[in-house]
């Protein structure tokens, strides 16, 4: 029996495309979240850095980011402005990041000065620093104008 090249190519394509999809389904079944185009930042600094200014011992971010603003001011040499946002991009507290925009990640020197909140990540946009929920992309808070 002779098998056509198209049938073999179609079967190979199906096998290669099914592998990643099966992995995603297995991860979701095991309780892992997908991080989207930019994966979640893993903190390797240890538990002592989770006690930084404003850390909420229940595991989430605080409502008052005054101590974080002061930390950024005190360590200005480690924080640089990000690129200005693309035209039409406007962040709103409590809403998802605009489609296709993720902000810029802060470098490791700047991140080492900020408190870590499990499930959240610091980003920058122009003179602003903002905190997003990694799994959903929802903007938790925006620190307006903290990067001079």
Q: pLDDT tens digits, residue range 7-64?
A: 676 665 555 565 555 454 545 444 444 444 444 443 444 443 444 444 444 557 888 8
By the 8 A CB rule, do 122 and 129 touch? yes
Domain span including residue 123: 47-143
Residue 84, helix vs strand vs coil: coil
- Tell me, yes or no, whether 84 and 123 share the same domain: yes
By the 8 A CB rule, do 122 and 60 touch? no
Whole-model pTM: value is 0.59
Q: What is the mean pLDDT of the chain?
A: 76
pLDDT band at 136 (very low <50, low <70, confident <90, very high): very high
By the 8 A CB rule, do 134 and 119 touch? yes
Please give the pLDDT value at position 70: 94
**Tens-place pLDDT, residues 70-101:** 999 999 999 999 999 899 999 999 999 998 89
State the distance between the two ends of the chain, measured CA to CA, in whole angstroms.
73
- Tell me, yes or no, whether 15 and 62 share the same domain: no
Residue 40 belongs to a domain? no
């Amino acid at each position: 029996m002779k098998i056509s090249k198209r049938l073999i190519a179609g079967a190979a394509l199906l096998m290669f495309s099914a592998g990643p999809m099966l992995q995603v389904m297995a991860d979701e079944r095991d309780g892992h979240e997908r991080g989207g185009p930019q994966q979640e930042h893993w903190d390797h600094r240890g538990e002592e850095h989770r006690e930084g200014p404003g850390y909420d011992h229940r595991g989430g971010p605080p409502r008052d980011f005054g101590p974080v603003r002061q930390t950024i001011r005190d360590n200005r040499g480690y924080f640089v402005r990000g690129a200005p946002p693309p035209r039409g991009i406007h962040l709103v507290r409590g809403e998802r990041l605009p489609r296709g925009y993720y902000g810029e990640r802060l470098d490791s020197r700047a991140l080492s000065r900020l408190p870590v909140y499990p499930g959240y990540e610091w980003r920058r946009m122009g003179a602003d620093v903002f905190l997003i929920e990694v799994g959903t992309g929802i903007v938790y808070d925006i620190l307006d104008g903290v990067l001079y």
